[in-house]
Amino acid sequence: MSADGPWHPWQSLPFPADGPGAGLEYPADADRFHVEELPLYEPCGEGEHLYLDIEKRELDTPGLAALIAARLGLPAASVGWAGRKDRNATARQRLSVPRRESEGRLDALEDPRLRLLGASPHRNKLRLGHLRGNRFRLLLRGSAPLGPLREALDALVATGMPNYFGPQRFGLEGDNHQRGRALLGTPNARRGRAQRFLHSAFQSSLFNRVCAARAAAGPGLLDGDLAWIHAKGAVFRVEDLSAEAPRAERLEISASGPLPGRQMLLPADAAGELEARELALGGWREEFGRQLRGGRRPLRIPLLEASLEAYDEGAQLTVTLPPGSYASVLLACLGLRVPAGGRDSEED
């Protein structure tokens, strides 16, 4: 299958078409999609930066950062954030601004789309990934038997959830990955934030392809895998499958997949052969690595604090996911139809 073939990094993924959540409606508005960042650390109370805790609606994170910069008279690049949130959600997240230029001007942030919940000094600017996770509360309208839905959720808690990138990574037209690949083949192309996001979409499509191929190959580790340690966010090469299998069953470790680039470690043996084949089918070329940093990402993730309750219009799903993982993937695993560009939380 070529890069221009029919395979699509979201629409082609092996989600159940008739799962127990098929009768429920995707939460497509801010009243039904709530997400709260769980910070990696708390501000220390002193330093050159000011951490702003904000609840927002009708703004994605770049738009929120631009509004803050404009209201406070700051350069756009001086505003930091730990995670990117969609505009069609009620989201609580933390951003950082230079303290000296901002501390006495926070009244300028008054806006119907946001609420300032607190402000505390800290020594460093917030960076992407400075998160422990995201807690989601999703109100799912419709009719579905809660028993089978809860069983499906419990099964994902026990085995882990495939860590696919969600549909919003690929844009409303579903072609961000193709645009990103085209940019990589363009000499002297601009490398601003928009271009980096498209490059990342191409990497994400390759990861999803490998993740789907690994799901088809069956659960568990393969010879030559680079295993992800969930507690540390680090990888190691699997030397003894039988020795590491119990840790994988306990969800302490998982196989990792590719975010291709010059700094990405390569698996070996069976894992390496599968990964190389899928990358080639997805349109990856070795020379692209000069323009992309690369890395590894776990092929599955643990679900934390997952619960499902009835409410008057359907079901309420509450779950905590690691940073960079997608609630839309969980909903698709439960059988809900997830629209293109579905709302969520994601990495840049």
Every domain range in the chain assigned CATH 3.30.2350.20: 41-128
The superfamily (CATH) of domain 159-301 is TruD, insertion domain (3.30.2340.10)
Residue 86 designated active-site: yes
pLDDT grade, residue 107 (50/70/90)? very high
pLDDT the model gives residue 213: 97
Residues 6+ apart with CB under 8 A from 277: 213
Match 């008739």 to its residue by tokens. 18
What are the pLDDT digits (tens) for 282-322? 999 999 999 999 999 999 999 999 999 998 889 999 999 99
Which residues on neighbouring strands pair with residue 345, listed in sequence order?
85
- What are the structure tokens assigned to 66, written together? 């631009």
pLDDT the model gives residue 119: 98
What are the pLDDT digits (tens) for 216-272? 998 899 999 999 999 999 999 999 999 999 999 999 999 999 999 999 999 999 999
What are the pLDDT digits (tens) for 135-190? 999 999 999 889 999 999 999 999 999 999 999 999 989 999 999 999 997 776 66
Rounded Cα–Cα distance for residues 47 and 240 (Å): 47
Hey, what amino acid is at 221? L
Rounded Cα–Cα distance for residues 210 and 214 (Å): 6
pLDDT grade, residue 344 (50/70/90)? low
pLDDT grade, residue 77 (50/70/90)? very high
Catalytic residue among 86, 107, 240, 344: 86
Report, as an integer, the average pLDDT of 41-55: 98
Written out in words, the top-level CATH class of the domain with range 41-128 is: alpha beta
What are the pLDDT digits (tens) for 56-65? 999 999 999 9
Is 50 exceeded by the pLDDT of residue 347?
no
Which residues on neighbouring strands pair with residue 301, listed in sequence order?
161
DSSP3 helix / strand / coil % (the chain, rounded to 5): 30, 25, 40
Is 80 exceeded by the pLDDT of residue 346?
no
Every domain range in the chain assigned CATH 3.30.2340.10: 159-301
pLDDT the model gives residue 219: 84
- What are the structure tokens assigned to 186, written together? 């363009």
**In angstroms, what is the C-alpha Rg of the chain?**
21
What are the pLDDT digits (tens) for 192-231? 878 999 999 999 999 999 999 999 998 899 999 999 999 9
pLDDT grade, residue 3 (50/70/90)? very low
pLDDT grade, residue 339 (50/70/90)? confident
Rounded Cα–Cα distance for residues 238 and 296 (Å): 14
Q: What's the pTM value of the predicted model, to 2 decimals?
A: 0.92
Residue of 25, 50, 131, 37 whose CA lies nearest to 90? 37
Residue of 103, 93, 100, 39 whose CA lies nearest to 64? 93
Report, as an integer, the average pLDDT of 99-110: 97
The Cα-based distances of 127 to 84, 94, 239, 256 in angstroms read 11, 11, 34, 23
